[in-house]
Structure 1
Amino acid sequence: MATEFAADRPIRWGILATGHIAESFATDLALADGNELTAVGSRSRESASEFAERFGAARSHASYAALAEDPDVDVIYVATPHSRHLEDVMACFEAGKAVLCEKAVALNAADAGTLVDEARRRGLFFAEAMWMRTNPNIRRAAGLAADGALGEIGQVRAELGFVAPPTTTRLWDPALGASALLDIGIYPLTFAHLVLGEPTAIAAAGVRSDLGIDVNGGATLTYASGAVASIAWTQVAQSDNRASIAGDLGIVEIPGRFHHPTEVHHIHDGRTDTIREPVTGRGYAHEIAEVAACLRAGATESSLLPLDETVSIMAQIDEILNQIGVDER
């Protein structure tokens, strides 16, 4: 069951895996007051030891299982590739640990639902590490839409992309769950959901690699309100990486890269207001703070990182990949 933590006691984090995303997370963890890196786990003793020394962890573990069983760890950030998330998160749950799992939380909606159900059954905190949702500027943009400042929302646009080096195997190897939509497109898809909610219809198209993974695509989503969202994602081209929310009273424009902005522009009544909410580090610190706040309150779910929406978005991903012709994952 969830445990409440005293305000003067730091939340003790474990990081499972030692790749690039784990490094970024550990860097921002050091900036999040009231949180500390206690342990790291890797399948390589050398990698775990080097990571622990570099980022100031008290100890390292030569296996993921050993990290999960560490009694001094309160919550584990799972930073393995998508293909391992089901296995690794379940192992953490079995050890009684709260979990923040890197997005995408699973390979498909069924696996995502399994993890959510298991967390709820055990009364353990669980969230997908969709750090964009906790970015203060994204929250302001979504707030303007929700509060009616833009009027009736008619269109949302978001795209994200870059050229993925062939050496970045997690983006190209089907065995690691490679998918431009799972890794990149999940941001514009989540952004559309954040503003407009559940779509009533999705029309998608895309291009697959020789090995069958999606590498370039787009989708149009329609909603009961009459709004339309246009999203695009790619790992084979340089995108403008911008987003916008358009209503009949105004528009919010978010410059690239839109998923971790330092400012947004509210255009209304013939003028442009630039909004700049402070962002700590690269932005991961905000999701760390949200998890810590939930743990301190004894909450097992976050309103900023809602589990039901995580599963819903995974179902949308399933539908889009099915339309593109990607084999069942």
Structure 2
Amino acid sequence: MSKGKLIRWGICGVGKISQDFCANLVNLPNEEHQVVAVAGRSLERAKEFAGRFSITKAYGSYEQLAQDNDVGIVYVGTIHPTHFDCCMKMFEHNKHILCEKPMTMNANQTRKLIETARSKKLFLMEAMWTRFFPAVLKLQELIADGTIGEVKLVKADFCMQPPERVDRLYDPALGGGATLDVGIYPIAMASLIFGGGRPESIKATGYLTDTGVDELASIIIKYPGNRVANLCCSLNLNMPKQAQICGSKGIVTLTEPFWCTTQLQTPSGNLDFPLPKPDLEMIFANGRGMTYEAEAVRRCLVEGKTECEAMPLDESLIIAETMDSILKQLGVKY
């Protein structure tokens, strides 16, 4: 997998999210991270991606990437309906995996991936990059030291309205719908703040598109200790994408976009956490923050860990179960 502290990456998928992640990897020290291979659904697209990031090997199939003995860990950045099969293929060849969110389409698939990773003693993590942002780490400190008292409510919204209809978001075959695509961010934020525990109750309402996926979901989750999350996600509303952490002594607001925020509004004033300047242009807002996630994965591998404490596999499973419940209540069937 590595020589000394060098981590050798393979990139599975050549879409926008993979481009941003790879742009961060190639900006990290070469003695710590190297991207040695990339695979796409076509060799032409893989070669184009490889040329952009000076990657030596390009493959036209994910199986070829899995068979590459130079690759130690694979970043799975394909669309989420393909995550399960891609990950299982990589596990067959004993690759460690960082898999984009949502890890799979449902809790059963997520459970199988976790069981496989643990049985083979391989690293697996859902790529919840939010967990590694300095602003979010500071938020956890503020909660732990009692700055805002006992946290009782989390409010978080990820409601977007693209200027043009994005067909993938409305196609059930491509894992479309608000909850899986963007709702996972508010759900995961509530889970983080409330310690990754299992909810006591989940109530969801909303409405579906003409294709049968959820266009809007309003969600209330109750956690043990009378703690509540009030969440919303949608594909047709343009609302402030903020999160508020409400405690008995005050409120901390994660400014927009909350899942990759660089500013906290606290009772004592604003706290800013600027990102490193990008050497390459990023596609997604604050995409430079993916570097924190990559560095965390490397630390885990160097230390011989198969799970990351910041994004435990058991919590990924609970989040998947939560989304299953929401989608069932909304009437979404994939």
Give me the TM-score of the superposition, normalised by structure 1: 0.93
Cα distance per residue 1:161-195 (max 9 Å; x no partner): 21246663331211111121111000000000100
Q: Which residue in 2 is equivalent to 1:313?
A: 319
Q: Which residue in 2 is equivalent to 1:205?
A: 205
Matched, 1:264 2:264: yes
After superposition, where does 1:66-145 map in structure 2 within 5 Å? 66-145=64-143
Give me the TM-score of the superposition, normalised by structure 2: 0.92
Q: Which residue in 1 is equivalent to 2:152?
A: 154
Provide the secondary structure at the position in 2 that maps to 1:259. Answer: helix
Matched, 1:285 2:294: no
Partners in 2 of 1:62 and 1:16 — Cα distance? Answer: 10
Matched, 1:325 2:321: no
Provide the secondary structure at the position in 2 that maps to 1:202. Answer: strand
Amino acid at match of 1:16: C
Partners in 2 of 1:134 and 1:287 — Cα distance? Answer: 6
Amino acid at match of 1:20: K
TM-fit CA distance, 1:310: 0.2
Indicate conservation of the 8 Å contact 1:145/1:245, yes or no: no
Aligned residues with identical type, % of pairs: 37
Matched, 1:234 2:230: no
Partners in 2 of 1:222 and 1:5 — Cα distance? Answer: 46
After superposition, where does 1:7-22 map in structure 2 within 5 Å? 7=5, 10-22=6-18
Amino acid at match of 2:135: N
Q: Which residue in 1 is equivalent to 2:270?
A: 274
Q: How many residues align?
A: 320
> Structure 1: 5+ residue runs without aligned partners?
none
TM-fit CA distance, 1:217: 1.1
Provide the secondary structure at the position in 2 that maps to 1:206. Answer: strand
Matched, 1:297 2:293: no
Partners in 2 of 1:145 and 1:79 — Cα distance? Answer: 32
Counterparts in 2 of 1:166 and 1:175: CA distance versus 1, 3 Å = farther
Matched, 1:43 2:41: yes
Q: CA RMSD in A?
A: 1.5
Amino acid at match of 2:177: S
Counterparts in 2 of 1:15 and 1:167: CA distance versus 1, 3 Å = farther
Counterparts in 2 of 1:287 and 1:273: CA distance versus 1, 3 Å = same
Amino acid at match of 1:212: G
> Structure 2: 5+ residue runs without aligned partners?
279-286
Provide the secondary structure at the position in 2 that maps to 1:163. Answer: coil
Indicate conservation of the 8 Å contact 1:5/1:297, yes or no: no
Q: Which residue in 1 is equivalent to 2:188?
A: 190
Q: Which residue in 1 is equivalent to 2:57?
A: 59
Indicate conservation of the 8 Å contact 1:146/1:195, yes or no: no
Indicate conservation of the 8 Å contact 2:300/2:306, yes or no: yes
Counterparts in 2 of 1:165 and 1:64: CA distance versus 1, 3 Å = farther
